[in-house]
Amino acid sequence: MKIINYLIYFFIIKGNVINQTSGKVQKNIKIYLFSFSQNEISLIDSLFSKDGKFKFEASKGVYILKSFYKNIFFRKIFSLNKDTFINFPIWEIKDENKNVEISRIHIAMIEDEGKISCIEVINFENKDNYAFFKPFEIELPNNFENFFPFSGIFFDEINIFNNKLLFHFPISPPEEIISFQYEVNGNFLYKRKFPFKIRIFELFSSPNLKIEGIGDGKIYEIGDKKYLRFKLENIEENEEISFKVSFKRKIFNLKEIFPIFVVLVFITLFLIFRWKKK
| Dihedral angle of Cα 257, 258, 259, 262, to the nearest 10 degrees | 120
Q: How many C-beta atoms lie closer than 10 Å to residue 269's C-beta?
A: 10
All domains of the chain in start order, with CATH: 2-90 (2.60.40.10), 100-247 (2.60.40)
Q: What is the mean pLDDT of residues 233-251?
A: 87
Residue 11: its H or E element: strand 8-19
Q: Please state the rounded mean pLDDT for residues 131-153.
A: 88
Global pTM reads: 0.81
For the segment 30-89, what is each residue's pLDDT rounded down to a tens digit? 999 999 887 788 999 999 999 999 999 999 999 999 999 998 889 999 999 999 999 999
In angstroms, rounded to a whole number, what is the distance separating the alpha carbons of residues 24 and 47? 20
pLDDT reported for residue 267: 52
pLDDT at 212 over 60: yes
pLDDT confidence tier of residue 95, bands split at 50, 70 and 90: confident
Distance, CA of 96 to CA of 131 (rounded, Å): 10
CA–CA gap between residue 25 and residue 181 (Å, rounded): 37
